[in-house]
Amino acid sequence: MGKVTFNQDICKGCGLCILACPLHLLALDKNTINRKGYSPAYIAEPEKCIGCASCAMMCPDSVITVER
């Protein structure tokens, strides 16, 4: 099981991490706007994360940290 954290203040909501997740656990938080004016990504089902880090490798801004 993995623990995924996002630095939501700098996430630009590009969605690349969402596409990279093999289990489709990530989504954009449409109810939140960060200080840059974007809807940041978040993990919708953290208990199902396998810690593969595909999302973190895909992120162009290095806003994702994955711990196993």
What tens digit of pLDDT does each residue of 31-63 get?
999 999 999 999 999 999 999 999 999 999 999
Q: What is the CATH number of domain 3-67?
A: 3.30.70.20
Report domain extents, the chain. 3-67
pLDDT score, position 66: 96
Q: Measured on CA atoms in the order 28, 31, 32, 38, is the torsion positive or negative? A: positive
Give the total residue count for the chain.
68
Q: Would you place residue 16 in the very low, low, confident or very high pLDDT band (cuts 50, 70, 90)?
A: very high
Spatial contact of 58 and 6, defined as CB atoms under 8 Å apart: no
DSSP state of 35: T
Residue 6, classed as helix, strand or coil, is strand
Q: What element of type H or E holds 16? A: helix 16-20
